[in-house]
Amino acid sequence: MDNKLLEIENLKTYFFTDSGRVPAVNGVDLFIREGETLGIVGESGCGKSVTSLSVMRLLAHTPGRVVDGSIRFAGMDLLSLPESKMREIRGNEIAMIFQEPMTSLNPVYKIGDQIGEAVRLHLKYDKKKARERVIQMLKLVGIPRAEEIVDEYPHQLSGGMRQRIMIAMAMSCEPKLLIADEPTTALDVTIQAQILDLMRKLKEERGTAIMLITHDLGVVAEMCDRVVVMYAGKVVEEADVFDIFENPKHPYTQGLLHSIPKLRRKTERLQSIPGNVPTPGNMPSGCKFAPRCSHAMDVCREQEPDLLQIASGHRCRCFLYQNDLAKEA
Ligand code: SF4
């Protein structure tokens, strides 16, 4: 299947700070097919969000800059497009929702005006048609009293309602790709389930591909077709969702899975991964996971493993499997 909608190759995004160059994303390769949901998982600071901001070219207000690699979306090279074209793509073809909707909703504009502006801009609707479209979208995401809410301000709504508004805004122009960065982390469990249901429904009904960034493997199990595991600015494992849960290969992925309570038998003790994610300015040499890995060998501290295919659709960055491959060769 080669219906790739988004293809990222060797992406490097560095932050330039007073204390030097910090590689937040350091050679990421991943792709998303049309209509599929890709989960990007890893602990905080592993480069998930910086990858998505690089795709959206929303690094201007940070000290970050893409220094190498390519990002292709629907046949376009996003990194070389003029900003005016990128503005058309943002919202229209790629939309993004964040953990905290208030960072994206403008508190001084009514809900209807905010979503309506995106609709008028991207779909070239007049004011009346845009308002009708907004009410239709609010109903679609399960907002009650849509005809009244359209004239209310974000602060008048609950957190769950605001997240729905964000999804309505993101989906109003029927994007080909929705990037959802921890969309349910700040919500209680019931609202979280409703929002995930909503995203699934929108994907099924409209064929939208989703890049779902989360540290929550429970959400991944429910939502994703394929999973990319990131560690220290790189992809360390990639496989379909079934393989990731049933046959995880990378010791980091195994550690993440062992730290989920509901996947363990009651008699087994929950294990957390020892140590912390290294800070981008202070990376160990060799495999970046070596200081936390119980399988680490001498070679792991000296050389960095490549991300290699170990089975169909399954890639892993670990010497344990590269030695296997070498033995087989
Ligand atoms: Fe562990 Fe070595 Fe594999 Fe890194 S390469 S994850 S240190 S076994």
Q: From the CB of 235, is ligand 1 less than 6 Å away?
A: no
Q: Of 134-138, 257-261, 319-323, which gets the smallest average pLDDT?
A: 257-261
In angstroms, the CA 149 to CA 129 distance is 17
In angstroms, the CA 146 to CA 155 distance is 16
Distance from residue 39's CA to the centre of ligand 1 (Å): 22
Residue 92 in tokens: 């229209």
pLDDT of residue 309: 94
pLDDT of residue 269: 58
In angstroms, the CA 257 to CA 279 distance is 22
pLDDT of residue 322: 84
Is there a contact between 44 and 98 (Cβ–Cβ < 8 Å)? Answer: no
In angstroms, the CA 137 to CA 115 distance is 9
**Where in the chain are the domains?**
4-93+175-274, 104-172
Q: Which of 250, 285, 287 to mutate to test the pocket of ligand 1 (most atoms within 8 A of CB)?
A: 287
Q: Which of 297, 298, 304 to mutate to test the pocket of ligand 1 (most atoms within 8 A of CB)?
A: 297
Query: Would the pTM count as exceeding 0.85?
Result: yes
- The answer on pLDDT for 1 being more than 80 is no
**In CATH terms, is domain 4-93+175-274 a member of 3.40.1080.20?**
no
In angstroms, the CA 89 to CA 78 distance is 9
Point out the ligand 1 atom lying closest to the alpha carbon of residue 295: 8
Across the chain, mean pLDDT equals 87
Residue 112 in tokens: 């209807």
Q: Of 116-130, 185-199, 226-240, 248-262, which gets the smallest average pLDDT?
A: 185-199
In angstroms, the CA 120 to CA 128 distance is 10
How many other CB atoms are found less than 10 A from the CB of residue 33? 17
Q: Of 39-53, 73-87, 101-115, 256-270, which gets the smallest average pLDDT?
A: 256-270
Looking up tokens 């508004």 gives: 165
